[in-house]
Structure 1
């Protein structure tokens, strides 16, 4: 069963003269369907851990967790902190099928990554890989938001993607309600590689909507690195702050 929306056409009309901001309903000055004011006021992630993108008080630091337990991925690239209104926009995209919101965020993330590639020396990956979803959950939701983001980024960045290289053959408990230690246990043996996966000496970017503890990203990166990948990065829309901050 393949129930993932194909999206061969635009989700809505991308005309500069008719678009309104999807956040405030005021006229949008660009085809991204967000006005300049709302785009500027989004919670852009500034000072952060150089590995996992955890918000920190200063630049150039590595958080204590990454120092104690080095993740298998090299770095997390996230434009925003998971706070208002990004948290609401992602939730509506992810759980209520408000796909235009996801498309808007995906396009803005594409611009952000273009800037990083052109101005900060961020290396372009060979392939984009969406975080896979188990079949039962995919049937229940009807779509994988990580795959939708990956497709949009692939088009905007001109980087190919493969939705079949990473597999999730086993059902697991939803991660949202679990603490960091339980999340790691929950993901043991949750993922696998396709039998014909071409991994050796390739640079991958795993795509997801939000990074919380990094357990899923670490598990997937470890799987790829063990199979011979040269580097694994993580692209996500938002990074959650440390609890209590």
Structure 2
């Protein structure tokens, strides 16, 4: 019954989209989808060289397997990162609209663009399963949804990969990372995540892709990757719509 209701809801949504005009989320002009072709061409530039481990931008001409200085000095627990773009204007506003404005129509846009970015990677490097960064109970109750999970639904469907919403759990509510000094962020997240006992067999010996909306310092994903590897994961790839540039 639940599957039937979901199917009917999807059909209704498709009919509404077909019969109603759509405006670009950035420029407001009429568009066939959430983002018009003009804004896609203007703001979603061709892929630039990025560090294969943390996805920070590299100088032009850097090779696909290059690492940035930070990852060379202190390698994170995750093995690779794939992002769509940098977290800069005007695309940063779309992330805020999703996360704090509950503009859930943006989640499929992010997921679809991230799937395109993944298809530019060798299929042998794809993870075997996907999991969203979990929210704490208080924040989930306040927001009403987990933006990473919503992005992951489209990403998983487009890539044909399983999405495990409960592969990771947040053991305690933590202070927002953006409110903390760089030296406090790692301590804030220490032992904040776990792989439930029921999920450990799904993790052991597998390559796990962890989904988030934005990577800022990478501390959250570093802690999650370490948690997954303690549970037996052999590789962790971070998947995010945007990456905050290093200044």
Q: TM-score, normalised by structure 1?
A: 0.86
The alignment partner of 1:186 has SS state of: helix
- Looking at structure 2, the residues matched to 203 and 161 of structure 1 have their Cα atoms a distance apart, in angstroms, of 13
Structure whose residues are more often helix by fraction? 2
Does the Cα contact within 8 Å between 2:135 and 2:170 map onto a contact in 1? Answer: yes
Does the Cα contact within 8 Å between 2:25 and 2:94 map onto a contact in 1? Answer: no
1:127 to 2:129 alignment: yes
Aligned to 2:18: 15
Does the Cα contact within 8 Å between 2:189 and 2:220 map onto a contact in 1? Answer: yes
- Looking at structure 2, the residues matched to 27 and 194 of structure 1 have their Cα atoms a distance apart, in angstroms, of 46
- Looking at structure 2, the residues matched to 127 and 121 of structure 1 have their Cα atoms a distance apart, in angstroms, of 13
Does the Cα contact within 8 Å between 1:43 and 1:84 map onto a contact in 2? Answer: no
Aligned to 2:43: 42
The alignment partner of 1:162 has SS state of: coil
Does the Cα contact within 8 Å between 1:94 and 1:145 map onto a contact in 2? Answer: yes
Work out which of the residue numbers 130, 138, 144 in structure 2 matches 1:142.
144
**C-alpha RMSD of matched pairs (Å):** 2.3
Q: TM-score, normalised by structure 2?
A: 0.86
Aligned to 1:3: none
Name the CA shift for 1:16/1:224 in 2 (closer, same or farther; >3 Å).
farther
The alignment partner of 2:30 has SS state of: coil
- Structure 2 regions of 5+ residues with no counterpart? 1-5
Work out which of the residue numbers 83, 94, 101 in structure 2 matches 1:78.
83
Aligned length: 233
Work out which of the residue numbers 220, 224, 227 in structure 2 matches 1:223.
227
After superposition, give the CA deviation of every residue in 1:185-216 in whole Å (9 maximum; x if it has no partner).
Answer: 11111001111112111111000000011111
Aligned to 1:241: 245
Give, in angstroms, the shift of residue 103 of structure 1. 2.3
After superposition, give the CA deviation of every residue in 1:156-179 in whole Å (9 maximum; x if it has no partner).
Answer: 211111111101021111111223
Aligned to 1:170: 172
